[in-house]
Structure formats: C-alpha cells, structure tokens
Structure 1
C-alpha cells in the first residue's frame, strides 16, 4: 500500500528517494574532488539539491529514457553494432534501429530451458550513458512491483511521482523504453536462419529467423553456477578446519566451464546485464560422453 503523510499527500517510495540520494552523492563526489573553497562547496551542495529534485531530475530522465530499449534478447550480444541497421527496410534506407525483442512466453511444465520457464527481468540496451534510467525504472517498490509497472498501470504512486511535472509528458517519456515498433526490423549483422514451414494456402514457405541471445537466462546460469561454486568452496574450507580424520561433507561442483566475454573493455555497450556481470558469461561443457573400452580377455579352457 502507498503511504500518506498527515496532510493526505501520497509519499514517495523509499527506493526512489534512496536512488536519487545515491546519484546526488556520486555527482558531488566527482564535483568536490578538487574544490577547496568553502563558498564553492556550499554553492555545489545547494545546486545538487536543485539538480536532483523531482522537478528537475524527472523531466531530464524522461527524455533520456528514449535512448534505451528493454529487451529480453538484445541483438548486441551477436554483434555490438547490430542495433544500427544499414539495410533497406520498408522503403527506408539505412540507419534503422533493429527492433528490441521482448519475449512474451508463458510458463509451462514442458521440461525445456527457455524464455518463460525462467523468470528474469528484461535487459536493456542503448546509450551506455543512459543506463541509469533503466535502474531507476526497474526499482522495486514496496509492493514488489517495478516503478515501470506502476507508471504503465498509472497507479497512485506513479501519479504522485509524475505530478512533479507534466504527467502525460513524463509518463510518455518513460514508457519509450518498452514501446515496440509496428514492423520488426532486423540487422545484417545478426545471424539469419531460413526455417522451412508449410502453409496450406501458399504451400512450401519459410520463416527468416534472427538468432538472438536470451541475456536474462545467460546470466541467471552464471549466477547459479557461482552459487554452487561458492557453496562448494565454503564446505571445503570448513572441512579443512576440522579433524583431518573426519570425512569431508558432500558438496556439488561443476567442471569443464568456459568463460565467454562480450563487449571487451566496454561491456556497457552490450547491455545492462552484461555490464553488471563485467561482460563475462559461462558456457557449460557440451561434448558427447567418453567411455573407456574394457579389455576383453579370452577365457582359457
């Protein structure tokens, strides 16, 4: 539930005020690094209060929201420049932005590791300088829903927050992150697969599929692997401190893991999730099992 103060005004969720306070602290840390004059320090402190107030920060953030796009399968994992499309699409020549895909798969007990069966937040790609807007919109409110969900559903919390400016303009600006295009646009830099299908009317036909990476699943895999490894490491260290005669406790571990990197020295140019994981993802060993041939000895009569 949304709290109200004594005058009946809706109060902002603590996660929002904490987010802006952290941003203000980071900004002041950079600005005050070489400032020693007390007058200048006081001026910067006063200016920061205005700069990171709702009335000033929200309108700028709503404009910057158009520089990023939510996506469950960012095309930049296939190629860093895949978002900028140089092909002719719908009669428009070049420089079209590839469609940011958001998979809407439902959860089913079908035994498959796929989108919908693994619950993750959508990733985001776009201007690396605007990725803080993604973190702002993905803040979890006290009801465990994201701020973006509140804005989309026009909840009382969202109306209270966006009332610090032009409500309709701010709402439209923030919702730019998940506004889909009417027609899908791909890129020549993304792997293309011709998948045959049969149509009763058209006969033999095909779908042109663009193979994309489910970044949420990719980094959820890494998170679970690291959890298993940490748990195994903790148990081994614990057993070392015990009597050496005592048997080790059982633990799980995974061998044969390869680390793959995305984005090189600039993981933020790929996506938010990639930046959060320093551009590193895990690949499990995928080879046929090996069997040793048993020696066959002929029986001697």
Structure 2
C-alpha cells in the first residue's frame, strides 16, 4: 500500500497512529489515577492490546438514531439507525430536518461506550468512524501492520452501524393504526411502534441549552432586562418540562442520553391562547379616552395611582418618586395606544361621517390620512384641506395632552380623589407623550381645563 505524506512531512498513517495513541493514553491516565504503578493494569493500555480489545467489545454496542429504551429502560427489541437525509421530507419539523448534520447515538453495554468515544476521535476534520466507513487505506495500516488483522479490526469497527432482524417488545410503546375498512376487523390495523428520535432530541437539547446558558443569549437577556437596545436575536423557551431518562444511570438508555445527564426537554403542548382583540371602533365616540381606559395595562396603573393619591402617606422623596413613575408609565401608554390604532385601522378612517372625535384626536390617531389624495371640493375636500393645515400648525399634541389630563382627573375623582384640580391637570398634561412628525416639546402645555 502507498503511504500518503502531508506537506509538514508527517504521513497520514502517523496522524492516525498519533490520534489513536493519544486517546488510549488519556484513557490510561484517567483509569489508573492513583494506581500508576500497577503494571498489569497499564499493560491493557498498550496500543495494540487496547485496539484488539476495542475491536472485540465494539460488538456489544450499536450506533443508532432512534432509541427503543427511551420508551422503557427494560424494553428489549430493535433500535434503528436511519440517517435523517434518507427520510421522507415534510413541512413539519422532524428527524428529517437534521439532514446530514446530526449526532449519532449508541446503545448497548455501557462498559463498551469508550469504544464509541474512540471512534468519534477526529482526524483531518472527520471521525475515525467516517474513515472506517470509507475504508481508508492509511487508517487500515494504523490499525495493525498485518493486513489481515487490520482488516478484521476495520470490519469490527464498521459493524457499529448495522441492521438486523427487527423486533418489538411488550414494554415498547405501540399503537394500533387503522389502515382501511371496518375498525372491528383486526386485519385492517397495522401495529406501529413509535421510536424516540435521539438525534432530534439531542439537537433540540443543544439549542435550548444555548438559549438558556449561552454567552451571547445571556448578554442579550441582560439587555432585555435592563431595557437596553440590542440588535441581536433573543431566544427564549418558556413553560418547559424535563423528562429524566435512566435515573442514576442515564448511560443505560444511550450515550447521548448520558451526555445530556438524562435530561430531555419537553416543549409545552398546550392549546393556543387566542387573542380576543378586534380592531377598535372609535366611530360615534366623542373621545378616544373611552377606548384608552381599557387599553392594555391602563386600568391597573390608574388604580395604583388613585391608591397612592388617596393614601395618607407622608410626602417623602420615595413617595414622590413612586407617584412620578406611575404618572410617567401612564403617559407612556399614549403612543402605544396610538400605534395600535394606526396598525389596525386603515388610513382615512376619520373621514367617515360617523367620526365624532375632536380634530386634535383625529390628527393624532389618523396621521396617514395626509398621504391620501384629497377629495373633491364639496365632497369633503374642504375638510381634508383643514386637516392638513391643522396638522402642520402643530398645536394639536398639546390639545391631546389636555384631553389626557382631563380624563385622568376624571378617573381619579371617580376613585374618590376629589381634591384633584387645575394644578394636577397641568401636571398630568406634562406627563403625556404624544408622537408628532416634527420636533415638539415632550412636556405638553395643555389649555385651561374644560368644565
């Protein structure tokens, strides 16, 4: 056989030998810690001795993608090795979604799992198992100088991926599936045995672990928590459950299950929480505050502010800061309310004859009306012209702030805070945040309160 030599002068055979010897030596150090002087035990980790033993023990394990014992640890039957790229393709996520990028699992005698770890050792970017499947000539020579012995070892290691007679077991999960005709006839059923896709579970586990503990997602989570801007994607898996398989010996289920510590995440299988929100109807209303009162999060803030206003707590710095925070949170609800209206109603909805809102509220809640072609004169064109002129005049945000202030005073009076008046009205108006298309003061100066 010809020996391939790399540019650095090291032959591929030597590369394979070095990778194999390094793995064996690491096993020896780990297993003989504290017993370094035990010559008999150390002899088992001689290069050729260990390879011969590994080739013998590899028959005790099997490479798989779908694990039977995940259904029940005492199930006896067939696990399968089905490369995901060979499966039928579907739109739904499944094992087929992994294509050729998947982790191979191993089942069998846990005492022989070190052989699988050995076959996962990489040389030139590919595992020894892949080189075995390719019947690599240089690896063959690295296994033994005698070609016959080397061939037998390569055959043994290649037999890690094998198929045999399929069999099920009483402890395996099974489903009777009606294929045709009358359900009362036994012959019309197929007995199916769903198998746990260890390859898919391992990929899901890795993604969830990355989302929960990965450095990048941790940094983005901190930005979310502190409300800092960040352009990176934030991933979060909620309402997870964990199924532990194998108890204190997860390796008895499979190698990948052992690597996961027996943990297998379960995503929530729950009915959707349908939103009952419909586009708000503002037609026929004199003020949009009738809808704003019931906007998400508004009523709890009003109740909390009323409680604070009615309380007899001394006006300490802490009390003032708490009250100011509530006021600002209420004022900050206004642009969100406006944005919801903008997104749910078509531009120009305020042209409807049933719209009874004040002009300033129409300007605030239907600004895209300016992008529409004006109607002919006599058919609403005068109103469209007045709308454009009022928008660009620019005093409407202060008028909206005044409406907000009057609404909040009214809400507090209904809660029993009868002492609120003009000073509170002007204070509430300054908390209102009204979006406009040009630079305007964020603190609004509202007109005198309407009676």
User: What TM-score range do you get, normalising by the shorter chain?
Assistant: 0.7 to 0.9
> What SS class does the counterpart of residue 54 from structure 2 fall into?
helix
> What SS class does the counterpart of residue 177 from structure 2 fall into?
strand
- Is the strand fraction higher in 1 or 2? 1
Whether contact under 8 Å (2:12, 2:138) holds in the other structure is no
Q: Work out the CA distance in 1 between the residues paired with 2:258 and 2:122.
A: 20
State the partner residue of 1:86. none
In the TM superposition, residue 122 of structure 1 has moved relative to its aligned partner by: 1.8
Deviations 1:266-291 (A, max 9, x none): 10111000000100011111211123
Q: How does 1:54-65 map to 2 (within 5 A)?
A: 54-65=47-58
Residue 186 to residue 30, structure 1, CA distance change in 2 (3 Å): farther
State the partner residue of 1:190. 172
State the partner residue of 1:112. 92
In the TM superposition, residue 115 of structure 1 has moved relative to its aligned partner by: 2.1
In the TM superposition, residue 47 of structure 1 has moved relative to its aligned partner by: 6.4
> What SS class does the counterpart of residue 260 from structure 1 fall into?
strand
Q: How does 1:94-113 map to 2 (within 5 A)?
A: 98-106=77-85, 110-113=90-93
State the partner residue of 2:142. 161
Whether contact under 8 Å (2:141, 2:150) holds in the other structure is no
Residue 279 to residue 3, structure 1, CA distance change in 2 (3 Å): farther
Residue 106 to residue 121, structure 1, CA distance change in 2 (3 Å): same
Q: Work out the CA distance in 2 between the residues paired with 1:160 and 1:196.
A: 54
- Residue 258 of structure 2 is aligned to residue 275 of structure 1: yes
Please, which runs of 5 or more residues in structure 1 have no aligned partner? 33-40, 84-97
Structure 1, 223-232 or 212-221: larger mean CA deviation: 223-232
In the TM superposition, residue 12 of structure 1 has moved relative to its aligned partner by: 3.4
- Is the helix fraction higher in 1 or 2? 2
> What SS class does the counterpart of residue 123 from structure 2 fall into?
coil
- Residue 129 of structure 2 is aligned to residue 148 of structure 1: yes
Q: Work out the CA distance in 1 between the residues paired with 2:12 and 2:126.
A: 21
Deviations 1:162-199 (A, max 9, x none): 22561232123223322211x31111111112233469
- Residue 219 of structure 2 is aligned to residue 234 of structure 1: yes
In the TM superposition, residue 208 of structure 1 has moved relative to its aligned partner by: 2.3
State the partner residue of 2:15. 12
State the partner residue of 1:82. 75
What TM-score, normalized by structure 2, do the two folds share? 0.52
State the partner residue of 2:390. none
Whether contact under 8 Å (1:62, 1:174) holds in the other structure is yes
In the TM superposition, residue 228 of structure 1 has moved relative to its aligned partner by: 1.8
Tell me which of 82, 95, 103 is aligned to 1:121.
Answer: 103
Please, which runs of 5 or more residues in structure 2 have no aligned partner? 182-186, 286-451
Deviations 1:58-105 (A, max 9, x none): 11001110111111001010011113xxxxxxxxxxxxxx22311144
- Residue 188 of structure 2 is aligned to residue 209 of structure 1: no
> What SS class does the counterpart of residue 77 from structure 1 fall into?
coil
Structure 1, 4-13 or 73-82: larger mean CA deviation: 4-13
In the TM superposition, residue 239 of structure 1 has moved relative to its aligned partner by: 7.5
Tell me the matched-pair count.
Answer: 265
> What SS class does the counterpart of residue 100 from structure 1 fall into?
coil
State the partner residue of 1:72. 65
Whether contact under 8 Å (1:78, 1:191) holds in the other structure is yes
Q: How does 1:172-187 map to 2 (within 5 A)?
A: 172-181=155-164, 183-187=165-169
Q: Which has the higher contact order (CA 8 A, sep 6+)?
A: 1
> What SS class does the counterpart of residue 18 from structure 1 fall into?
helix
In the TM superposition, residue 224 of structure 1 has moved relative to its aligned partner by: 0.6
Deviations 1:252-275 (A, max 9, x none): 322111111101111011100000
CA RMSD of aligned residues (A): 3.4
Whether contact under 8 Å (1:194, 1:207) holds in the other structure is yes
Whether contact under 8 Å (1:74, 1:213) holds in the other structure is yes
Structure possessing the higher radius of gyration over alpha carbons: 2
